[in-house]
A = this chain, B = another copy of it.
Amino acid sequence: MADGKNVQVVLKSRPAGEPKPSDFEIVESAVPKPGPGELLCRTIYLSLDPYMRGRISGVRSYARSVEIGEVIVGGTVSQVVESNHPGFAPGDFVQGYDGWQSFGVSGGAGLRKLDPRQAPISTALGVLGMPGMTAYVGLLDIGRPKPGETVVVSAASGAVGAVVGQIAKLKGSRAVGVAGSAEKCRYVVDALGFDACVSHREPGLPAALKAACPTGIDVYFENVGGLVLEAVLPLINQNARIPLCGLISEYNAIEPARGPSLRPILFNRALIQGFIISDHLDRMPDFARDCSAWLRDGRLKYREDTVDGLANAPQAFIGLLAGMNFGKLLVRVSPDPTRYEFERQSTAATVDCRSN
């Protein structure tokens, strides 16, 4: 059924600082055979996400480390090739966690079947997947934006940030993004409908952010840390909420990074709440209902940055940590057989996809 080889990207050495291509190794082996109750899937899309930097670092984190020689973990959208599992048939599309490899065998646990007529299957890794749900839960349950409040989100053109700002707008808040280039800022305002966006690569970030938030900041959805957090804290209002989702600016740090003083948190009775989306799976039905509807209505837009070929995954991942991607970063591991079908059905208004 499955021709050829299973291509895998395994961890060759733990990166010190910025990962190098030589920290990864591409190996080939025979395509595995599914055992009783198992199914074999061909990977179509691999999701690349910042959390993976923690998994390959070997330091204490919220999840098990990837060991040297192991396939790197990651969310995938795949098509079933062979199935000994009664719930799945060859040809089904599924979202799972097969990692950085072109074929995966699993027992079906945690697999989610996808209907390519409802939404492009790649969205199961982005706006309708883990990043979208991270935005939804972090913003609504921790940030709790009220109409008229100002919501700031860093990495605003990224997979999570783009959804945060759009939901903030849907809830009647003012949305202000922080992104890594003038082009990304234009996209965030013009395509996604944020009220403003400032670049964190400009020297005047504190002043630009202050100008963009004339009534202060009520919610700061934190993806980045570092200089962005330092620019935000002096502007927070009383009872501000800071969902702490990521600190990507620190993930490659060798020495422990420093942060700003917590004084503004104290004086403003503000809240910082770290969260990991896997603790909030009870919110999945609400998320799926709301975001699917918003996506269908064209009220939720997204952008994908797709890299072709698993061999390019290491370099794409290195670029992700440096902010080189523009939109949800995906690796197309094998051709997407639904692509033509979806493009024929969809209207330009509902999605804003870019394919590199």
Residues of A with Cβ closer than 8 Å to B?
54, 60-62, 222, 225, 229, 238, 244-247, 250, 256-263, 265-276, 279
Contacts and interface: CB of A to CB of B under 8 A. Distances in A.
Contact of A259 (B244, B247, B258, B273): B258
A131 to B, nearest CB: 16
B279 A266 contact: no
A341 B238 CA distance: 45
A238 B247 CA distance: 18
Contacts of A274: 262, 265-271
A265 B250 CA distance: 13
B266 A244 contact: yes
A260 B247 CA distance: 13
A61 B267 contact: yes
Nearest to A222: B262
Contacts of A62: 238, 267-269
Number of copies of this protein chain within its complex: 2
B269 A275 contact: yes
B273 A271 contact: yes
B265 A257 contact: no
A115 to B, nearest CB: 32
Contacts of A262: 222, 225, 229, 244, 247, 259, 272, 274
Contacts of A265: 244, 272, 274
B261 A269 contact: no
Given A61-B267, A244-B266, 14 more contacts: A60-B267, A62-B267, A62-B269, A244-B265, A246-B266, A247-B263, A258-B258, A258-B261, A259-B261, A262-B272, A269-B273, A269-B279, A271-B273, A272-B272
Contacts of A276: 269
A179 to B, nearest CB: 21
A257 B272 CA distance: 19
Contacts of A229: 262
A257 B247 contact: no
Nearest to A226: B261
A246 B54 CA distance: 32
Contacts of A275: 269
Contacts of A268: 62, 274
A244 B266 CA distance: 6
B271 A271 contact: yes
A242 to B, nearest CB: 9
A64 to B, nearest CB: 13
A261 B272 contact: no
